[in-house]
Every structure is written in structure tokens, then in C-alpha cells.
Amino acid sequence: MSALSSHLVLAEKAVPRYTSYPTAPHFSEAVGPELYAAWLAELPAETRLSLYLHVPYCRELCAYCGCHTRATKRQEPLDAYAETLLREIDLVGRRSPARKVIHVHWGGGTPGLLGPARLRELTDALRRHFDFAPDAEISIELDPRHVDEKLARGLAAAGFNRVSLGVQDLNAHVQKAIGRVQPFEVVERAVKVLRGSGFRAINLDLMYGLPHQSEEDVVRSAELAASLRPTRFALFGYAHAPWFAKRQQLIDAAALPGAAARLNQAATARKALIGQGYDAIGLDHFALPDDPMAIAQREGRLRRNFQGYTVDQADALLPFGASSIGRLPQGYVQNTADVATWRRAVESDRFAIVKGVAFTRDDLARAAVIERLMCDFSVDYGVIAEKMLGDAAALDGAQDQLAQLSREGVATQEGRRVSITEAGRPFMRLVASAFDAYLPARAARHSVAV
């Protein structure tokens, strides 16, 4: 089999994105509100915290989206959701001995729909219960179609200092196919309004692998978006998982690019962004050389969590809102995705955690190996196994899969040091999967590798 044919086979393999380990399909009801309460109470006072707040509402639903969201045209559900968030902030604040916050991220959905007054109210509530570090990053995901001067000024006044805009693609026929019509001028205006309110840290999200999308479409989107000079890009491959995200059934699977086209789209978009002066970060991020993320990668401090690549160095991530996921030293936790169930739990002064996973020492060691592979392209897994498990050979079970990937030019090995080759970087999730003890034991459906 030729190298190209081999790589096409690899590109079509289904593997997790490894924004966590163990991955979300392996969460179970064994972790519930009582265990979360106990884990929270065990946090040392000096623990550095990251907070994630999820708002599962949009004005309209995009066909490509796999997030827990719902559409609403009315303000009442948003106000009711904000009121419950206030109660959940109070609940967590009363139960957590840890106070120092170094990072906050608002995701969704479209959290900006809460409006500047509500976002200020909620941020003030967080500040009453927690001590924000002077240099804390406070970021929010925004829909460019719903950014105006009032929102931008309100976010700045509330202390937000980084925004992420969902762009995805800037070609009319692709936008129509995914149900998200937003001409370049809309995105351009959103960036201008945000900069006018003082925002300098602006991220843009792009996607490849979308229906009716060509290589030329991807490059045009990348070059147009780069002309706005955001500080960071995320370039995601569309994950077609209609068995999980029912709205994706609206997408014509026959219109999706094949494995070869996806590989080319990812490669040409990467080349275009690097050509515009951005440093490639890990699997799918790009940043200007003076951005904290580019600096963190050069210094070996890059991290990976549920938001993707991050500079967040927190010891624990606390979740707020329906479907939100947290990570404590003891394990992962996730709130119920059902808003009504979440609300009833919080109004009863109970945590809304419905599943998660308690870490074993083996989990933590494998997670450390996978994170370094995804961030640094190289890891000595023997050193990590020796340090965390007391046995350098404890993870040698990955050898057979690693040897196969080495033969295919994706990785190299020297002893227990594994390095991903330049040609193998699009397949780094496959290299990481060699260390996934859960993947072969329990079937779970995942998106394709590239």
C-alpha cells in the first residue's frame, strides 16, 4: 500500500478528540452530586480554579453543531436560565474552600444572548464568591451576527478580556448548506466593534470538511479571516455524528468531502494561516507569535482541556450550567443536559451532576502522556510511567500500535520516547489512542481522525 493510500485509511479511522481522558463516552452514573460535593470540599484552599459556564441557547440552530443547545427567540428562557446560574454560583461558592480563580470561560450556545446586564450581574456574582487573580483571563464565545456596540461595551465593563467568534466558513454556498449565513462584512463589523471597545485578544473559529466545501473555499475563508488579524485561530474538522447530534441529519452526507479532500483542506488551510504569520499550535490551533498560546507552546506549558488548547494552568475546573463538564483532581463531573432537571436540582440546593468518572492512577498517567503528545508532539512515556506508576514499563502495551504507526511514517520511537513526525501531525489523535485503555474495551462512536 502506498503512503498516500495508507494515510487515507488512517484519516477515516474513528478516534476521540482527546480533550479529556478518560473521554466523555466513558463517564458513568457512578459519579453523582454527593461524590462531587465531597470532591469539592476536599479542594485545598490554595487550589487554582478555572470556571466554565455553559449557556445552551441560540437564536437559531446551525446544522453542523454538535453542542447541547436549543433555539429561542424569546428573552424569558434566557432570564430564567441566568437566575438559576446565580443560584448555582451561590451553591458552589458556599461549598468550595478554594477561592482563587485564574481563568473563566463562557461557552454555548450563544452566551452573549444573555445580554450585557445579565452577564455583568453573573460576573459580579462570581467575583463575590471567588477571588479573581489580577491577570485572570475571562473569555466568551460570541456569534458575530449578534455582536453590537452595547454588548461589546458591556463585556469590557464586566472585565471580559478575550472573545471567540464562530466564523466556520466565509463562502455563501457553504454557509447555506450548514444553516449559518453570515457574510464576511458581518464578521468584519463584529471585530471592528469589539476592538473599538478595547478588545485585543480575539479568536476566530474556522472549519473544514463541511458540505459542498472545496479546498479553494477553505483557503479563501482562511485568508479573508486572517485579513482581520485575530490573535488566534481554531481550525476544526467537521465531525459528522448524526447519531449524536440529530440536527446534523439535515446535512447531506453525500455532499461531504471524502478523506483525501479533508486531508488536503486541512493542509492548505494550515499553509495559508502560517503564510499569514501565525504559528501552528498543536493539532488545530494557530496564534500570532506574541500571543500567550504561542509562547506557552514554545515553553512547553501548553495544556489541553474541554475547550481545546489552552494556556489555563488551573488545578481544577468547576462547571456551571446544563451539560457543563468539570475536572477536579479526583475525577471528571458533568451536569445534566436537561435544563429543567438542572434547574430543579439547583433550586433544591443540590448539585446537578449526573455522571462522571473517578480517576485511577493509570488514568492519570495515560492522560499525562496523551496531553503531552497532543501539545508537544513528543513524550517519553516511560518517564511518566515511572514517576506516576512506579514502573517505566507500565504503558508498554501501546508498543504494537505505535510500531504500526511508525511503519506508516506517522511516528518514530527511541526507547520509550514517541515523537509524531511532521507528516504524521494530522494523525496525532491516532498516536494518542495507542495509550487509550478504554477504546478497545468499550465501543463508542467517534468522529474520523482527520
The listed CATH number (2.60.120.10, 2.30.30.40, 3.30.1330.40, 3.20.20.70) that belongs to domain 18-319: 3.20.20.70
Compute the distance between CA of residue 408 and CA of residue 236 in angstroms, rounded to an integer: 24
Indicate the pLDDT class of residue 449, thresholds 50, 70 and 90.
low
- Bridging pattern class, strands 417-420 and 378-380: antiparallel
Q: Per-residue pLDDT tens for 14-39?
A: 788 899 999 999 999 999 999 999 99
Confidence tier at 89 by pLDDT (50, 70, 90): very high
Answer yes or no: is pLDDT of 65 > 90: no
% of the chain beyond a pLDDT of 90: 86
Summarize the confidence of residues 212-240 as an average pLDDT.
96
Domain boundaries, the chain: 1-17+361-450, 18-319
- pLDDT one-digit tens code per residue, 160-193: 999 999 999 999 999 999 999 999 999 999 999 9
> For residues 201 and 441, which has the higher predicted lDDT (pLDDT)?
201
Tens of pLDDT along 359-377?
999 999 999 999 999 999 9
Q: Which CA distances in Å does 231 have to 179, 220, 275, 287?
A: 27, 19, 15, 6
Residue 441's pLDDT is 53
> Could you tell me if 380 and 416 are in contact, meaning their C-beta atoms sit under 8 angstroms apart?
yes
Question: Do 1-17+361-450 and 18-319 show the same overall fold?
Answer: no
pLDDT at 443: 47
Least confident of 53-67, 73-87, 92-106, 320-334: 53-67
The confidence score (pLDDT) of residue 72 equals: 93
Whole-number Å distance between alpha carbons of 312 and 162: 13
89 — phi, psi (to 5°)? -60, -45
Architecture of domain 1-17+361-450: Orthogonal Bundle (1.10)
pTM for this predicted structure: 0.93
Q: How far apart are CA 85 and CA 125, in angstroms?
A: 10
Give residue-wise pLDDT tens across range 113-152.
999 999 999 999 999 999 999 999 999 999 999 999 999 9
Average pLDDT, the chain: 93
Mean pLDDT of 321-333: 98
Q: Provide DSSP, 261-294.
A: HHHHHHHHHHHHHHHTTPEEETTTEEE-TTSHHH
